[in-house]
Structure 1
Amino acid sequence: MTPPSHLRRVGFGVLLTSLFALLSDPVAASNAAVGLAGASQDNLAVPRWLYLATGGATVGASALLASFVTDRRFIDQVHRWRRSVAVTGAFTRGLGIAGRLLGVVLLVLLVYLGYTGPQIPTVSFAIIVTFAGLRAGYTMFTYLVTDTWRALNPWRTVASLFPNGFVEYPDRFGRWPAVAGILVLVWVETAVGVTRQPSILATAIVVYSLVTVVGAIAVGVDVWFDRIDPVSVFLHFYGRVAPIRVSDDGLSVRLPGMRLVTDDQIADVADVAIAVVLVWELTFSGFVTTQPGATSIRTLVEAGLPPLLVYAVVYLGGFAAFLGLYLLAARVTARRIATFESPRALAVTFAPSLLAIAAGYHLAHYFGFFVSLSPMLVGALSSPLSPPANPIVLTLPSWFGGLNVAFVLVGHLLAVWVAHSQAYATFPSRMQAVRSQFAFVAVMILYTILSLWLVSLPTAAPPFL
């Protein structure tokens, strides 16, 4: 079937816009990790032909997907395909016990060695494990393989030992406390010095532990870790992209990202804000660790503004802009396609696609960082009480820059497929389903272009921090 002419014009316009934005000279792909940034300064060359070809082809494919893939049965078969593997209850319980024990031991070591270990980031067990191991590696495991945080979570293990649930949590708050918590944690990571001073990191972990355990006892373990705790919500939302889910019945294997379509767990605007903040916090940390970002911050500070105020305005203002742009797409869609669906309902419907973008960007943001520091991480975990005198950092080959671009684009393609599936599950009319995606795909393309631009830039240490 030939798509209508206005669909072809939209696809062609989107393609031209993306190619124009990608014409900036891609100097290098940034590792862009805030923690341990000084340990891995690998500027990775990205060929311009690869940048243009993959960017243009992916965005063009996005537009074509919305125009041509209209077989509802085929779409349903793709996102409902699954395989199950039975696992005995004793095996599952054993893994749960081992996970809880490992989580508690790891938490104790992070605090103890943060205070008593060497106060040098590149040999500190606390900093290496927190940022290379958990922030980078474990988060990647969560969306590439499966979410195991419920079993590993040490704060849940401790809080579950006490009577809990003395205070009723207001339903109207939803997950807004988790949104605020994620923003605060990223701000602490960026501005407080936890990535450079192990004792400060240990203090932050102690404070976080006290607040988390007391809060979980007050409102109830399930409520706290499902709605309020920023780390648990952060990992749970990423885990929805994963192909494997572990339950009492065994292992369930799906195609990556397909649970975003079938598992309806985004219920309100607070959940939408979490999906947006997962994209934005990576964009922010990516921006401030690039040379243009550092130059922009330095220029504003030299004009007389306090450094932390500049960072705060960029940080919170950027999040508000990202969220506002997405909600604007929902309002535009509701007005243009003549639907009974409210803008809020449309925002909730298409929000799972943002999690695919966040996963792709996180992988581009942290994969090279994780690989380059993996010898340090293995050494820290295998010998936590004996830090190495000469930590090893791998030098990555130049083709790793192409991987960063590929990760961002694969995340975008998966996001477009999720949005496409959501549209066909929501609207009975094919034309309405296709048109409902335009504004949201445009926002996703904007996010992706910004991500591609950031991974193309040379790295720099954030100034004044």
Structure 2
Amino acid sequence: MALAVCAGAPARAHVSEGGLVLLLPTDIYIAAGVAVVAATVALLALLPARAVAALFRPRRLRPGRGSRARRMVTNWAAFAVLAALVWSGLAGPRDPLANLLPLVVWTVWWIMLVALQGLAGDLWSRIDPWRGPVAVARRLSGPPPLRLPARLGHAPAIAILLCFVGFLLADPAPTDPARLAVIVALYWLSSFAALVLFGARWRYRGEAVGVLMRSYGRLGVMRHGRVGLTGWQLAAGRVPPAGLALFMLLMLGSGSFDGLNETFWWFARMGWNPLEFPGRSAVIGQTLAGLAVANLVLVAGFALAVRAGLWLAGGGRFRRAFRALAPSVLPIALGYHLAHYLTSFLVDGQYVLVALNDPLATGADLLGMGETYVTTGFFNTPASVRMIWLSQAGAVVLGHVLAVLLAHAIALRELRDPRRAALSQAPLAAMMVLYTLFSLWLLASPRGI
């Protein structure tokens, strides 16, 4: 995947980019959004600890009747679909907006499924395309012959995550069907080999897609017959290891840079006129450097906020506090993911339906849709653009509000003293208020192609 970023290829548009420039009074909306998050911080200082804990207390529903055999069927079905998509990428149309592989990878999986995973709960385990083949391989070969060194922690997953984001943001042609088919096939094969060789440890420490999906899945409202406020699983869960905590922070940092690197501001930093941009191949180095710096700044800022909070609270173990509070950024990451990709989903989701209707571009009409045209008319009227913007801003603000609530609940769980918990959260809460301003600015900023 890292090699693919450096390889030359014709430049194509990034899957999530667009040329929409908002003409709404966004300064008013941004100020209101920041005020909501700031008010949440102030309110938490007044709420009793029991009220905060009650927010994240789940309710038990009738337990579902899960079936391992049924899950194995869906896992094999997912593997078959993935194999068919790879074949489509190699043999289907060359147009990324007519080939199912890039549409499914970037629109159905990366936009829609990630969002559903974070909103509803763990869907990925039911459609994990490795579980079925790995189970068969285990029966044939026996237990894993190798042991993944514990000292590696989540380093393999972190490295793969950064390679994936680098490919998404810096590769000249991330939507090219044949190119993407090779990368998807190589990633599946290498992960399959690692799962057979190292067993479950690779699934939870090395296979970055699964680690990312499970992290978002812990935000879901439902799990094991219980339902609660988004984040209740994290509020009640165990403190993650250091590698996984860092992975979660990189999810937020990478998503934020995904938005930043499209703005006119970022083009100016690189010395390019966005209206005369020569293509992604001209800025691969700058994009990868920007991604690294953005993540370093976020991790350093988060660590500084945690350490300052412990100093205000009268002390505490920094490493444990850093690990415990890292999951609180996941609602922000999910909220920005929903907001950032909303416009892309509204357009590319239509292309998915068109491609399903005629997957090989042979004139078929499998869904009975007839001659269908993709529309972008909802970008042309003030009412619809205002609705889109308010939906995006609402997702960002709600994500930050949930993050503030979750961080406070975790601090209460760890410190067991309402006063110390409130003091420890002051710097982190201030950081989240500023991050709200930054995220809303990203959404409202003019973007290049």
Residues 1:144 and 2:105 are matched in the alignment:
no
Q: Which residue number corresponds to residue 209 of structure 1?
A: 188
Corresponding residue for 1:232?
A: 210
Per the alignment, residue 354 of structure 2 pairs with 379
Deviations 1:133-161 (A, max 9, x none): 11101111101112211221112322222
Give the CA RMSD over aligned residues: 2.5
The alpha-carbon deviation at position 198 of structure 1 amounts to 0.8
Deviations 1:371-397 (A, max 9, x none): 232222223345433477865144332
Corresponding residue number in structure 1 for 2:310? 334
Counterpart position of 1:9 = none
The 5 Å alignment of 1:304-453 reads 307-339=283-315, 341-386=316-361, 392-396=374-378, 397-399=384-386, 400-453=388-441
Q: Distance in 2 between matches of 1:393 and 1:259?
A: 40
CA distance in 1, matches of 2:309, 2:318: 8
Q: 1:279 touches 1:357 (CA, 8 Å); kept in 2?
A: yes
Q: How many residues align structurally?
A: 416
C-alpha distance 96-231 of structure 1, shift in aligned 2 (>3 A):
same
- Alignment-derived partner of residue 152 in structure 2: 173
Match of 1:13 in 2: none
Q: Is the 8 A contact 1:139 1:235 kept in 2?
A: yes
| TM-score, normalised with respect to structure 2 | 0.86
Aligned with 2:248 (options 275, 299, 306): 275
Q: Secondary structure at the match of 2:62?
A: strand
SS at match of 2:324: helix
Alpha-carbon distance in structure 2 between the residues aligned to 1:48 and 1:387: 45
Matched-pair identity in % = 25
1:133 matched to 2:108? The reply is yes
Check 1:194–1:229 CA distance in 2 against 1; reply closer, same or farther (3 A cut).
farther
After superposition, give the CA deviation of every residue in 1:309-333 in whole Å (9 maximum; x if it has no partner).
2222111111111111111222222
Residue 335 (structure 1) shift: 2.5
CA distance 1:193–1:52, change in 2 (3 Å): closer
Deviations 1:23-60 (CA, angstroms, capped at 9, x unpaired): xxxxxxxxxx974346x544444433642442242132
SS at match of 1:351: helix
Q: Which residue of 1 aligns with 2:3?
A: none
Contact 1:35-1:131 at 8 Å conserved across structures: no
CA shift digits 1:403-445 (9 cap, x unpaired)? 1111111000000000111122122332211101012112222
Superposed displacement of residue 216, structure 1: 0.8
- Alpha carbons 1:373, 1:393 under 8 Å: kept: no
Structure 2: unaligned runs, 5 residues or longer: 1-11, 364-370, 379-383
Could you report, residue by residue, the CA deviation over 1:164-210 in whole angstroms, capped at 9, with x for unpaired residues?
52111122222121111111001112222443311110011111112
Q: Deviations over 1:225-283 (max 9, x none)?
A: 111111001111111111022x5xxx33222221120122x423212211111111111
1:395 corresponds to which letter in structure 2? Answer: G
For structure 1, the residue ranges without an aligned partner over 5 or more in a row are 1-32
**Following TM superposition, by how much is the alpha carbon of 1:215 offset from its aligned partner in structure 2, in angstroms?**
0.8
Distance 2:62 2:355 in 1: 34
1:359-382 CA-to-partner distances (Å, cap 9, x unmatched) read 111111112221232222223345
Contact 1:156 1:225 in 2 (8 A): no
- Normalising by structure 1, what TM-score? 0.83
Show the counterpart of 1:99: 74
**Do structure 1's residue 262 and structure 2's residue 236 form an aligned pair?**
yes
Contact 2:87-2:181 at 8 Å conserved across structures: yes
Are the aligned partners of 1:423 and 1:433 in contact in 2 as well (CA < 8 Å)? Answer: yes
- Kept in 2: contact 1:36–1:121 (CA 8 A): no
Asked whether the 8 Å contact 1:275–1:355 carries over to 2, the reply is: yes
1:30 maps to which residue? none
Matches within 5 A, 1:180-191: 180-191=159-170
CA deviation after TM superposition for structure 1 residue 285, in Å: 1.2
Contact 1:34/1:289, CA 8 A, preserved across alignment: no
Decide whether aligned partners of structure 1 residues 60 and 402 sit closer, same or farther in structure 2, where only a CA change above 3 A counts. Answer: same
2:330 counterpart letter in structure 1: L
Task: State whether structure 2 residue 51 is matched by structure 1 residue 67.
Answer: no
AA matched with 2:192? V
Give the SS at the match of 2:266.
helix
Per the alignment, residue 285 of structure 1 pairs with 258
* In structure 2, distance between residues paired with 1:380 and 1:254: 37
Stretch moving more, 365-374 or 205-214: 365-374
Distance apart, 1:83 and its partner CA: 3.0
Name the CA distance, whole Å, in 2 between partners of 1:321 and 1:189.
20
Residue 17 of structure 1: aligned partner = none
